């Protein structure tokens, strides 16, 4: 038998590393399809703002130049077009010369966070478009469809589990892959070929992958709720303006950074509105320092609530100040400035906007596209690696439970304790981990049968 001097460099890794490698494999095998969908749809979303602006240019812009009409007159024109059945939800004045005003109506036929918007030429009063708009970002039908597919596969609330599953495991796969790469380098047996490309790409994209996972979890249904509880407990929530009128104290109106992705924006039963009030409220807000071009005026939910004027420019530097205005006296009753946000609240705001590709404009879009494309390619490479090894795979390869039993007594306690803690914080991760264990155990049961078949052949 020929001896090889390189044998010490290829010694079998310990059970803990084998456990990590097995988990990394299972994540790729079972979560990989969801990562592919999330990465592909995210890539398309990141690259389509300019396409959407081109497709809907007639609605978004106008060749008219001159003094704009009062908001009241623009609103009257929009109301006459939609009829009396729809209530007025919000108005977004033209942010700059050559842009249109959005008069947004609550339409029960549309989904959550979606309005029917009439795009009004602020100079001539001509209606230049009638489209559904979604969320604070005000994206139009093309990107709304892409966004909803990225978020829930167009399946509504049940579909959100897919994106939460992907976000819950992405950081585990990324850090696990980094650990395996570092161990190989330390043992001077770096991965080569396709495996080397898979590993090195993951290392280069590590920061972006962790960022997408963390910010994606804040949008998720179950983990997102837990994150919200944590932020509220430590006072990290995003502040909102108080809208109650009168002497009775009331909590501030909750400000939702994720308004682009969930939560109905319709008023339950709007009071009768005088369109002229919009002009007075806007003037008061401007006098109070609301100076962003992009802003939204929203009537109070009832007659005893103040109206809100909010800056909605999410590009750097962020402009998200807000004021509450009494619609009768036009007095500013409360205000919140971005400068007053706690650091965690600011980081949350910036993280969400960067995840959506709006914080730094085109550069932000390109970085997201590179990370999403890298994740796509890495996942495909992972499947190719599995497929190439599949025919020679030892059916008796130890599974997660078998490897756990080989750990030291301390590790046998720490590993399940860590898994339990993560499962409580990230319920979809915990539930899917249990499924991994069941499937892995069933695969292990096939080992003896496959060996018997091979022997009888």
Contact between 104 and 91 (Cβ < 8 Å): yes
- 96 in a structural domain: no
Instruction: Indicate whether 365 and 346 sit together in one domain.
Output: no
Q: Is the pLDDT of residue 392 over 60?
A: no
What value does the mean pLDDT take over residues 447-452? 48
pLDDT band at 13 (very low <50, low <70, confident <90, very high): confident
- 265 in a structural domain: yes
Q: What is the pLDDT of residue 259?
A: 61
- 284 in a structural domain: yes
- 317 in a structural domain: yes
Beta bridge partners of 129: 119
Instruction: Indicate whether 393 and 338 sit together in one domain.
Output: no
Residue 188: φ, ψ to 5°: 55, 40
For the stretch 233-265, pLDDT in tens is 999 999 999 999 976 555 555 556 666 654 444
Tokens at residue 443, please? 């695969």
pLDDT band at 266 (very low <50, low <70, confident <90, very high): very low
Instruction: Indicate whether 314 and 375 sit together in one domain.
Output: no
Contact between 366 and 196 (Cβ < 8 Å): no
Percentage of residues in the chain with pLDDT exceeding 90?
82
Domain edge (last residue) among 292, 320, 350 = 350
CA atoms within 13 A on the CB side of 133: 25
Instruction: Indicate whether 378 and 340 sit together in one domain.
Output: no
Tokens at residue 6, please? 């390189």
Kindly write down the DSSP assignment for every residue of 29-78, as one continuous string. Answer: IIIHHHHHHHHHHHHHHHH-HHHHHHHTHHHHB-S--SPPPPHHHHHHHH
Q: What is the pLDDT of residue 455?
A: 40
Instruction: Indicate whether 180 and 216 sit together in one domain.
Output: yes
> 450 vs 51, which has greater pLDDT?
51
What value does the mean pLDDT take over residues 358-366? 97
Instruction: Indicate whether 30 and 179 sit together in one domain.
Output: yes
What value does the mean pLDDT take over residues 410-431? 98
Expressed as residue numbers, the domain containing 289 is 239-350
What value does the mean pLDDT take over residues 149-156? 97
Instruction: Indicate whether 247 and 207 sit together in one domain.
Output: no
- 437 in a structural domain: yes
Tokens at residue 378, please? 């890495």
Contacts of 187 by beta carbon, 8 Å cutoff, 6+ apart = 9
Question: Across the chain, what does the average pLDDT equal?
Answer: 90
- 205 in a structural domain: yes
Q: Is the pLDDT of residue 8 over 60?
A: no
**DSSP classification of residue 27:** I
- 95 in a structural domain: no
Instruction: Indicate whether 342 and 439 sit together in one domain.
Output: no
Domain edge (last residue) among 289, 318, 350 = 350
Q: Is the pLDDT of residue 350 over 60?
A: yes
Question: How many Cβ atoms sit within 10 Å of the Cβ of residue 122?
Answer: 23
Distance CA 87, CA 105 (A): 6
Instruction: Indicate whether 206 and 296 sit together in one domain.
Output: no
> 10 vs 147, which has greater pLDDT?
147
Whole-number CA gyration radius for the chain: 27
Task: Tell me which of 184-188, 274-278, 284-288, 451-455 is least confident.
Answer: 451-455
Q: What is the pLDDT of residue 270?
A: 55
pLDDT band at 383 (very low <50, low <70, confident <90, very high): very high
Contact between 197 and 382 (Cβ < 8 Å): no
Q: Is the pLDDT of residue 5 over 60?
A: no
Q: What is the pLDDT of residue 444?
A: 76
> Angle, to 10 degrees, between the axis of helix 71-82 and the axis of helix 276-287?
140
Q: How many domains does the chain have?
A: 2
Please tell me whether the peptide bond between 317 and the residue prior to it is cis, using omega within 30 degrees of 0: yes
Q: What is the pLDDT of residue 80?
A: 98
Instruction: Indicate whether 340 and 442 sit together in one domain.
Output: no
For the stretch 300-330, pLDDT in tens is 999 999 999 999 999 999 999 999 999 999 9
For the stretch 169-214, pLDDT in tens is 999 999 999 999 999 888 777 777 899 999 999 999 999 999 999 9
Q: What is the pLDDT of residue 185?
A: 86
Q: Is the pLDDT of residue 370 over 70?
A: yes
pLDDT band at 451 (very low <50, low <70, confident <90, very high): very low
Domain edge (last residue) among 350, 382, 407 = 350
Instruction: Indicate whether 365 and 342 sit together in one domain.
Output: no
The three-point CA angle 55-57-60 to 5° equals 125
pLDDT band at 411 (very low <50, low <70, confident <90, very high): very high
Tokens at residue 24, please? 């990394």
Among candidate residues 233, 187, 449, 238, the one with its CA nearest the CA of residue 349: 238
Q: Is the pLDDT of residue 83 over 80?
A: yes
Q: What is the pLDDT of residue 316?
A: 94
Q: Is the pLDDT of residue 11 over 90?
A: no
pLDDT band at 267 (very low <50, low <70, confident <90, very high): very low
pTM value > 0.75: yes
Length of the chain: 457
Q: What is the pLDDT of residue 454?
A: 36
Q: Is the pLDDT of residue 360 over 90?
A: yes
Q: What is the pLDDT of residue 389?
A: 79
- 27 in a structural domain: yes
Q: Is the pLDDT of residue 86 over 90?
A: yes
Q: What is the pLDDT of residue 192?
A: 79
Tokens at residue 191, please? 């991965």
Instruction: Indicate whether 313 and 258 sit together in one domain.
Output: yes
Distance CA 311, CA 324 (A): 12
pLDDT band at 398 (very low <50, low <70, confident <90, very high): confident
pLDDT band at 445 (very low <50, low <70, confident <90, very high): confident
Q: What is the pLDDT of residue 453?
A: 42
What value does the mean pLDDT take over residues 104-118? 96
> 271 vs 8, which has greater pLDDT?
271
């Amino acid at each position: 038998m020929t001896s090889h001097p390189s044998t010490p460099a290829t010694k079998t890794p310990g059970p803990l590393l084998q456990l990590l490698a097995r988990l990394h494999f299972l994540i790729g095998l079972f979560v990989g399809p969801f990562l592919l969908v999330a990465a592909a749809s995210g890539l398309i979303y990141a690259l389509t703002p300019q396409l959407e602006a081109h497709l809907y240019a007639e609605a978004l812009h106008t060749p008219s130049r001159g003094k704009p009409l009062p908001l009241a007159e623009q609103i009257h024109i929009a109301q006459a077009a939609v009829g009396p059945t729809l209530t007025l939800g919000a108005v977004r004045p033209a942010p700059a010369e050559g842009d249109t005003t959005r008069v947004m109506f609550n339409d029960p036929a549309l989904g959550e966070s979606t309005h029917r918007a009439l795009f009004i030429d602020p100079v001539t009063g001509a209606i230049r478009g009638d489209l559904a708009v979604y969320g604070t970002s005000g994206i139009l039908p093309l990107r709304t469809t892409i966004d909803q597919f990225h978020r829930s596969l167009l399946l509504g609330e049940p579909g959100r589990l897919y994106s939460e599953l992907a976000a819950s495991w992405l950081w585990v796969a990324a850090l696990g892959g980094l650990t395996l790469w570092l161990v190989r380098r330390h043992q001077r047996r770096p991965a080569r070929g396709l495996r080397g490309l898979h590993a090195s790409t993951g290392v280069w994209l590590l920061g972006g992958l962790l960022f997408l996972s963390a910010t994606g979890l804040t949008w998720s249904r179950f983990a997102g709720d837990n994150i919200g509880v944590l932020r509220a407990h430590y006072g990290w929530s995003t502040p909102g303006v108080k809208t109650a009128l009168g002497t009775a104290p009331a909590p501030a109106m909750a400000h939702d950074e994720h308004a682009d992705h969930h939560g109905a924006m319709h008023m339950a039963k709007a009071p009768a509105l005088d369109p002229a009030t919009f002009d007075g409220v806007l003037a008061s807000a401007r006098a109070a320092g609301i100076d962003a071009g992009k802003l939204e005026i929203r009537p109070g939910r009832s007659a005893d609530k103040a109206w809100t004027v909010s800056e909605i420019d999410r590009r750097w530097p962020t402009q998200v100040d807000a004021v509450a205005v009494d619609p009768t006296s036009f007095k500013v009753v409360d205000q919140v400035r971005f400068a007053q946000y706690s650091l965690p609240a600011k980081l949350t705001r910036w993280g969400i906007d960067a995840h959506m590709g709006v914080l730094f404009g085109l550069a932000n879009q390109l970085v997201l596209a590179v990370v999403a494309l890298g994740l796509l390619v890495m996942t495909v490479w992972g499947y190719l690696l599995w497929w190439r090894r599949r025919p020679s795979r030892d059916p008796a390869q130890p599974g997660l439970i078998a490897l756990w039993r080989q750990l030291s007594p301390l590790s046998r306690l720490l590993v399940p304790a860590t898994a339990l803690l993560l499962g409580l914080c990230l319920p979809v991760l915990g539930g899917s981990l249990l499924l991994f264990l069941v499937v892995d155990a069933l695969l292990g049961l096939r080992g003896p049968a496959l060996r018997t078949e091979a022997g009888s052949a």
